Structure 1
Amino acid sequence: MAKTILMVAFDFPPSNAASVQRTLKFFQYLNEFGWTTIMLTAKQSAYVHLDNSPPIKLNDNQFIYRAKAFDVMRHLSIRGKHFNWMKTPDRWGTWIPFALYKGKKIILQHKPDIIWSTYPIPSAHYIASKLSDYGSIPWVADYRDPAPYIHTTNGKFLDGIHKKIDDLTISKARKVIFATSATKDKYEEQYSESEQFSVIENGYDEDNFRKAKALEKSHPNIFSDGKFSLYYAGALYQEGRDPIPIFEALSQLKAKNEIDSSNFELIFQGAGDGTVFEDTLKQLNVDDLVSFIKPTDFLLAIVNMTRADALLLIQDERFNLQVPGKIYEYLGSNKPILIKTPEGSSTAQVANLYKCCLLFSNQNIYELILNTSIQQGFNKMEPSHLTGNFSRKDRAKTLNELLNSIIQT
């Protein structure tokens, strides 16, 4: 049976955003499961960071349509200033009219059987809701991340807007999918339990590791010979992913002569240029141990993961409901992983399945790390040997089954 899905997602290659892999693999693997997959996304000029990996190869029944979008921060600010309402419901909300126009043309041309949209850009759900109404097409809403008001705040005004979009989504979407059980539980507290809610977790894709392997010879090694290299890939936030306790621990390790610049390095990639931490690093006397390098393409980041001696993940209390997709790439690299996260977090629940993961929080970092040589501690840990159905293809298979159940009713 021919079946067609219209997918609405702001971030899609060549965007280098963290949400891309979940969307991309659904797009690719649903096509293998018999769907004509149509992506409605933004023009690449809207993306802050670009991934320079080779373009996606499309089959005859795969289509990508791009709508014009402006970034308030980069395109509509004057000397860095703009009105807050311009970021409603998000900083790329300008793509809404362009996406609706293009989406209606797609519906008339391709007649999709179902519409799927994904957070963390809330305008995608709003666009999907309107297109669902226009074509009388069932809609499935995916929450890679919860709306901010569920677990933190973006301010009273934006929280109110995001709550209205969630109200619209919960009332209209045939199915609502969450990336973690903890997020689903929070939404059930907000909206009551519902058979409408499902969980499809993130995962890792073995094909990405095969592609990364092919790039190893042509990609320079960012790590130093003779040093124990700890690697962090991705963004840092003052609230939510705070590395300062790590720096403090390194400072004490250095003071105890456990490590120095001749045998240890911590490299952050994609976390900015480190300027915001310069004074702290100097005060702690670890500026020679820690470096920040520019972002790289997704596949090259995997190359770096496989070359590092160990990997660092920071997921503080603000993100207790979420499990970063990056943890699955980390696990897939078969490296020891040092994870700063609260014991009860969703990330901790995944990490506790693996002996390769060393968990710590701000409260126990000194006892756990300072009293154990980093090199000795990690050398005793075992590779991950992923267990469970964590492949992206298996996740897409679950989504395929859910979609089939909708169009067959």
Structure 2
Amino acid sequence: MVKRVLMIAYHYPPQHGSSGIQRTLKFSRYLPEFGWDPVVLSARPAAYPSVSNDQLVEIPSSVHVHRAFALDASRHLSIRGRYLRAMALPDRWSSWWLGAVPSGLRLIREHRPDVIWSTYPIATAHLIGHALHRLSGIPWVADFRDPMTDEGYPADAVVRGAYRWVERRTILNCSHAVFTTPGAANIYRARFPHLPASRFRVIENGYDEENFSGAAALPANAPQGEKPFVLLHSGIIYPSERDPRPLFEAVAALVAQGDVSSRDFRLVLRAAHHEELLRQLAHQHGIADIVTLLPPIPYREALSEMLAADGLLILQAASCNGQIPAKLYEYLRAQRPILALTDPAGDTAATLRNAGIDTIARLDSRDCIMAALRRFIDMARQGAAPMAAMDKVLANSRKARTQELANLLDQVAGAS
């Protein structure tokens, strides 16, 4: 008998500009292969800051998608850029709750799901999941991905308090809380020691082979194997969690020493989002002719660019040791040399070492980055940079992760 899961997710096509889209999209695409029929409850496109139709074709026609009323407080409820704080707690899409809970109840009556699943990083999704769980009695799995709160995070104390409230309400009422790294799950086991450790599960992110097959057929967006050497960072660069300043200082120092120049090295930052800050930093350090800032492109084109780059760059601060950037799994599948600027004690570094990759340096040390960048460029040019073995790569496929989710849903539905 086919079982059904109601999936509550803000990040879903046609939303654009977040790697978080891939997790729910691929789960909904592959769950039917493992006996689960997904029904997706998302937000109306007007709530998204940016939209693109390039991944709509990846939603199977068999998947029922309902897009509930939602507003973005910063765009729809503001006057001259200002809006009431209460309208944006726990996040700017709190109005989604008003549209999604009635819509979710209608979907429950129509489709009779066996399990409810909601996914962060939009905290309102867990509030919707909690309400539908309490109103229907259907067991609920909460996909946290990364920790929702930490010491000093979110930076705003009022928002942090709201997140703490949502976090505790979710953990105490869900059947299982799912995280994308062992470190994140361990943080919550320690934070809620009175709960069974089995409540906290790990389902990592991954890559999709179908997308890479399509990307390989596209024209390359970057030169490969010839000067200048292209080091690509694909995705958002957060000023704190992925602070680029030590990297810019290191590149400037290498330029001053004559180790690199604009003729033989380019640092390409694709869809970084904080372009003005990065542009100022590049000019400040005298490397504006080396740093190239590029706008977002469709997902498969971004993968094609990864496949063509000479090297791929990861940035991750020590404050995020319990997190792994979702693009890391795509980097591994791209089979291009990877330079990771991250804490050697974190989950990102551990994942790379497990894959046989040791080109790692601390993000917060200019001198470490200088030495690592010299070594990395030399090894990559000689074809000697370490690559992940394909058996390690294949274990990270989205289909394999979906089977893990299906197994968990089977367990939850069976227990209920």
Summarize the Cα distance change of 1:106–1:367 in structure 2 as closer, same or farther, 3 Å threshold: closer
CA apart distance, 1:404: 0.8
Counterpart secondary structure, 1:285: coil
Q: Distance in 1 between matches of 2:62 and 2:366?
A: 51
Pairwise CA distance, 1:159: 1.7
Q: Is the 8 A contact 2:177 2:199 kept in 1?
A: yes
Residue equivalent to 1:207:
210
CA distance in 2, matches of 1:340, 1:329: 17
Whether the 8 Å CA contact 1:332–1:385 is kept in 2: the answer is no
Once the two structures are superposed, residues 79-120 of structure 1 have per-residue CA deviations (whole angstroms, 9 ceiling, x without a partner) of 222222221111111111101111111011111111001111
Closer, same or farther: CA 141–247 of 1 in aligned 2, 3 Å: same
The correspondence for 2:379, drawn from 372, 377, 382, is 377
- Residues 279-324 of structure 1 show CA distances to partners (whole Å, capped at 9, x for unaligned) of 4322322110001111112211111100110011101122111011
Q: How far apart are 1:149 and its partner, in Å?
A: 3.5
Q: Which amino acid aligns with 2:8?
A: V
State the identity %: 33
Cα distance in 2 for residues equivalent to 1:151 and 1:303: 37
Q: Are 1:165 and 2:166 an aligned pair?
A: yes
| TM-superposition CA deviations, 1:149-196 (whole Å, max 9, x none) | 467333222222111212221221111111111111111111115221
Q: 1-side partners of 2:166 and 2:322: how far apart? A: 20
Structure 2 residue matching 1:408: 3-state secondary structure: helix
Between the aligned partners of 1:145 and 1:107, the Cα distance in structure 2 is: 28
Q: Give the aligned partner of residue 269 of structure 1.
A: 270
Length-normalised TM-score, structure 2 = 0.92
Q: 1:58 to 1:263 in 2, by over 3 A?
A: closer
Please tell me whether residue 12 in structure 1 is matched to residue 9 in structure 2.
no
Cα 1:15–1:224, aligned 2, differ >3 Å: closer, same or farther? farther
Q: Which residue of 1 aligns with 2:403?
A: 397
**Alpha-carbon distance, 1:72 to partner:** 1.4
Retained in 2: the 8 A contact 1:31–1:62? no
Residue equivalent to 1:77: 78
Conserved in 2, the CA contact under 8 Å of 1:336 and 1:378?
A: yes
Q: After superposition, what is the alpha-carbon deviation per residue over 1:185-233, rounded to whole angstroms, capped at 9, x for unaligned?
A: 111111115221111111112111012123x13x654889631001111
* Secondary structure of the structure 2 residue equivalent to 1:56: helix
How far apart are the structure 2 equivalents of 1:304 and 1:148? Answer: 33
* Separation (CA, whole Å) in 2 of partners of 1:291 and 1:59: 37
Query: What SS does structure 2 have at the residue aligned with 1:142?
Result: strand
Instruction: Please show how residues 10-409 of structure 1 align to structure 2 within 5 Å.
Output: 10-16=10-16, 17-56=18-57, 59=60, 61-149=62-150, 152-192=153-193, 193-194=195-196, 195-214=198-217, 216-217=218-219, 220-221=221-222, 226-272=227-273, 274-362=275-363, 364-367=365-368, 369-370=370-371, 372=374, 374-379=376-381, 380-388=384-392, 389-409=395-415
Q: For each residue in 1:366-398, what CA deviation from the matched residue of structure 2 results, as whole angstroms up to 9, or x when unmatched?
A: 245348355313332132234442111111111
Aligned-partner Cα distance in 1 for 2:273–2:224: 18
Q: Is the 8 A contact 1:3 1:112 kept in 2?
A: yes
SS at structure 1 position matched to 2:215: helix
Counterpart Cα distance in 1 of 2:91 and 2:182? 25
Higher mean displacement: 33-42 or 71-80: 71-80
- Against the structure 1 CA distance between its residues 60 and 23, is the aligned structure 2 distance closer, same or farther, given a 3 Å change threshold? closer
Displacement of 1:44:
1.4
State the AA in 2 paired with 1:200.
Answer: I
Question: How far apart, in 2, do the equivalents of 1:255 and 1:49 lie?
Answer: 40
How many angstroms apart in 2 are the aligned matches of 1:151 and 1:321? 15
The aligned amino acid for 2:38 is T
Letter in 2 for 1:376: D
In the superposition, relative to structure 1, how do residues 362 and 390 fare at CA in structure 2: closer, same or farther (>3 Å)?
closer
8 Å contact kept, 2:246–2:365: no
Question: 2:300, 2:60 → 1: CA distance?
Answer: 22
| 3-state SS in 1 of match to 2:143 | strand
Q: Is the 8 A contact 1:90 1:122 kept in 2?
A: yes
CA spacing shift, 1:57–1:280, aligned 2, 3 Å = closer
Q: Is the 8 A contact 2:225 2:310 kept in 1?
A: no
What root-mean-square deviation, in Å, do the aligned CA atoms of Structure 1 and Structure 2 show?
Answer: 2.1
Cα distance change, pair 337–34 in 1 and its aligned pair in 2 (3 A): same
Question: Residues 368 and 106 from structure 1, CA distance in 2 versus in 1: closer, same or farther, beyond 3 angstroms?
Answer: closer
Q: Which contiguous aligned blocks of 4+ residues in structure 1 show a shift greater than 6 angstroms?
A: 222-225
Contact 1:340 1:362 in 2 (8 A): yes
Normalising by structure 1, what TM-score?
Answer: 0.94
Whole-angstrom distance in 1 between the partners of 2:61 and 2:292: 45
Q: Measure the CA separation in 1 of the matches of 2:58 and 2:335.
A: 29
